[in-house]
Chains A and B, each alone.
Chain A
Amino acid sequence: MRVEVELAGPYIYQYGGRLHTVEVDEGAKVEDVLKKLGITERIYIVIIKNGKAAKLDDPLSEGDKLIVFPPVGGGA
Chain B
Amino acid sequence: MTSTESVVSRYESLNRSIPRIDSEDKVRGTLLYVTDIRLENALYAFTFRSKVAHGKINRIETEDAEKVNGVKAVLTYKDIPSLNGYGAIVPEIPVLAYDKVRYYGEPIALVAAESVEAGLEALSRIKVDITPLPVIRSIEEALDDNAPKIHEKGNIARHTIVKKGNVDKARASAYVVLERTYETPMQKHMYLEPEGGVAYIDENGTLNVIAGGQTPYRDKLQIARVLGISPDKIRVKNSPTGGAFGGKDDVTVQIHLALLAYKTKRPVRLTWSREESGIAGFHRTSSKIKLRTAAAKDGTLLSNEAAIYLDSGAYQSFGPTILDVSIETINGPYRVPNYYIDAYLVYTNNGLASAFRGFGAPESNFAIESMMNELADELKMDPIDLRLKNILRTGETGPFNNIIRHSEGLEEALKRAKEVFYRPDPSTPFARTGVGVAVAIKGVGFGTLPDFPTAAIEVVPEGKVRIMFSNVDYGQGINTGNAQLVAEKLQIPVSQIEVYHSDTKYSPDTGGSSASRSTFNAGNALLAACEKALSELRLEAASYFMTSSSSVTYRGGNFYYKDRSINIYELAKRLRSRGKSTFFEATYEVPRYPEPVEGTLEVPHMVYMYGVMVSKVEIDEMLGKIRPLEVDFIADIGNVINPAIAAGQIEGGVIQGLGYSLTEYYSYDKDGRPLNINYTTYIVPTAKDSPMINVEFVRTYEELGPFGAKGVGEIGIIPVGASISDAVADAIGKRPYRLPILPWDFI
Task: Give residues in A with beta carbon < 8 Å to B.
Answer: 6, 8-10, 12, 18, 43-46, 48, 51-53, 67, 69-76
Contact = CB atoms under 8 A, between A and B. Distances in A.
Contacts of A43: 221, 224-225, 231
B373 interface: no
A10 B514 contact: no
B454 interface: yes
A74 B602 contact: yes
Interface string B428-453: 00000000000000111111111010
Contact of A9 (B218, B318, B601): B601
Given A9-B449, A52-B452, A53-B452, A72 B221 contact: no
A73 B318 contact: yes
Given A8-B449, A43-B221, A51-B452, 5 more contacts: A43-B225, A72-B318, A74-B321, A74-B322, A75-B325
B701 to A, nearest CB: 22
B445 A51 contact: no
B503 interface: no
Contact of A6 (B225, B357, B594): B594
Nearest to A51: B589
Given A53-B587, A72-B321, A8 B357 contact: no
Contact of B221 (A71, A75, A76): A71
B225 A73 contact: no
B596 A12 contact: yes
A72 B445 CA distance: 12
Contact of B356 (A9, A12, A52, A76): A76
Contacts of B398: none
B215 A73 contact: yes
Nearest to B231: A43
A25 B693 CA distance: 63
Contact of A44 (B222, B442, B447): B222
A71 B225 CA distance: 13
Nearest to A48: B452
A44 B714 contact: no
Nearest to B713: A76
Contacts of A74: 318, 321-322, 324-325, 359, 443, 445-447, 449, 514-515, 601-602
A75 B443 contact: yes
A76 B509 contact: no
A73 to B, nearest CB: 6
Contacts of B359: 74-76
A76 B355 CA distance: 5
Interface string B185-224: 0000000000000000000000000000001011001101
Contacts of B449: 8-9, 69, 72-74
A21 to B, nearest CB: 16
Contacts of A45: 221
A18 B321 contact: no
A2 to B, nearest CB: 19
A10 to B, nearest CB: 6
Contacts of A48: 450, 452
B648 interface: no
Given A72-B88, A72-B321, A44 B450 contact: no
Contact of A10 (B89, B224, B225): B89
A8 B225 CA distance: 20
Interface string B589-612: 100001110000110000000000
Interface string B449-475: 110101000000000000000000000
26 contacts: A18-B594, A43-B231, A46-B450, A48-B452, A51-B452, A51-B587, A52-B452, A53-B454, A67-B450, A70-B89, A72-B449, A73-B215, A73-B218, A73-B321, A73-B449, A73-B515, A74-B324, A74-B325, A74-B515, A74-B602, A75-B355, A75-B359, A75-B443, A75-B445, A76-B514, A76-B515
B91 interface: yes
A69 B512 CA distance: 16
Given A72-B88, A72-B89, A76-B714, A10 B454 contact: no
Contacts of A18: 594-595
A54 to B, nearest CB: 10
Contacts of A6: 450, 594
Nearest to B221: A44
Contacts of A8: 448-450, 594
Contact of A53 (B222, B444, B509, B514): B509
Contacts of A46: 450
Which one of A8, A10, A43, A73 has the highest number of Cβ atoms from chain B below 10 Å of its Cβ? A73
Contacts of B589: 51
Nearest to A6: B594
Contacts of B225: 43-44
Considering the complex of A and B, which 3 residue pairs feature the smallest CB-CB distances, nearest first? Answer: A75-B515, A76-B246, A74-B321
Nearest to A41: B225
Contacts of B249: 73, 76
B517 interface: yes
Interface in B49-88: 88
A53 B325 CA distance: 27
A73 B514 contact: yes
Interface in B344-387: 355-359
Contacts of B221: 43-45, 71
A39 to B, nearest CB: 15
Contacts of B452: 48, 51-53
B315 interface: no
B245 interface: yes
Contacts of B318: 72-74
B399 interface: no
Contacts of B321: 72-75
Contacts of B246: 76
B277 interface: no
A76 B358 contact: yes
A70 to B, nearest CB: 7
A53 B322 CA distance: 26
Contacts of A10: 89-90, 320, 601
